[in-house]
Structure 1
Amino acid sequence: MVTEGRQTMTWLFFSPSGRITRLPYFLGWLFWIAIGGFILARMMATQDQDILLALWTLALVVTGLVSTVSFVMLTIKRLRDVGYPGIYAICLFIPVLSLVMFVVLCVWPGIADETPIGRRP
């Protein structure tokens, strides 16, 4: 989904190809956390209404699954930008290591060299 120097949101959130810098990585995570927070707030507001609570719970489960895939794709692209293989994205599923990895990827600058994966964005 890459077109002549322009990348789409689908590429950003759901494609493992290419590289991204720190800012899109952080903003991608922030987007999904905000969506999850909104759904949790709606769940708390509708605790006494069973049908609405069930719908918001379903929305939370679906969003959780979609955001997990997106987190992995964002991390694969970010790992490639700092010079590591995308397979290290598996570390996202190790509780304490995932937080450390997120912080490191948000502050570590990418490599300036062109790699087989592509040039620096």
Structure 2
Amino acid sequence: MGTSNFTWLFFSISGRISRWVYFLATMLLSVIAVIPLYKSMIAPLGSAEYEMWNMIFALVFLGSLWPHVALSVKRFHDFNREGYFAVTLFIPVLSILAFLILCLYPGDPGANRYGRYTNAPQD
């Protein structure tokens, strides 16, 4: 995957992505966030190391918000829905259900208003 494809996948809201790409990209972002969280959990409470890993986790978490939104918007585009539905991922009760729907529900088989192809920017 080239740099432009990587940039498009995680930072652009144009186009569509398949459920498999959505799942893998979301898992990658989650693993990246879990590493500093784990490190802070094993550090002694109140130590400088604990504070450092908590700060790194907070920065990683904040930095991953937009990529999560961009992935979700493109996934909603795949079944011809507006990206505004990605807001459901920020509602605690609905977030798990929305994630499961985005991972399991198949997208439109052909072209739709958000692009001719899945896993590509809008034409």
* Global fold match (TM > 0.5): yes
What's the Cα RMSD here?
1.8
Distance in 2, matches of 1:7 and 1:105, equals: 24
Partner of residue 47, structure 1: 44
Q: Which amino acid aligns with 1:52?
A: E
- Residues 74 and 83 of structure 2 are in contact (CA less than 8 Å); yes or no, is this contact kept in structure 1? yes
- Pick which of 57-66 and 38-47 moved more: 38-47
- Pick which of 72-81 and 48-57 moved more: 48-57
Partner of residue 121, structure 2: none
Partner of residue 34, structure 1: 31
Structure with the bigger RCO (C-alpha within 8 Å, sep 6+) is 2
TM-score, normalised to structure 1, is: 0.87
Structure 1 residue ranges, 4+ long, deviating more than 4 angstroms after superposition: none
- Residues 80 and 114 of structure 2 are in contact (CA less than 8 Å); yes or no, is this contact kept in structure 1? no
Distance in 1, matches of 2:18 and 2:71, equals: 10
Structure 1 position 105 matched with structure 2 position 102: yes
Secondary structure in structure 1 of the residue aligned to 2:95: helix
Q: Which amino acid aligns with 2:80?
A: G
1:83-108 deviation line (CA, Å, top 9, x unaligned): 11101111111111111011011011
Q: Across the two proteins, how many residue pairs are aligned to each other?
A: 117
Question: CA distance change for structure 1 residues 22 and 84 in 2, over 3 Å: closer, same or farther?
Answer: same
Gaps of 5+ in 2: 119-123
Gaps of 5+ in 1: none
Secondary structure in structure 1 of the residue aligned to 2:14: coil
* Cα shift at 1:7: 5.4
1:18-37 deviation line (CA, Å, top 9, x unaligned): 10001110011111111122
TM-score, normalised to structure 2, is: 0.86
* Cα shift at 1:120: 2.2
Q: Which amino acid aligns with 1:120?
A: Y
Partner of residue 77, structure 1: 74
- Residues 111 and 120 of structure 1 are in contact (CA less than 8 Å); yes or no, is this contact kept in structure 2? no
Distance in 1, matches of 2:12 and 2:98, equals: 20
Structure 1 position 22 matched with structure 2 position 44: no
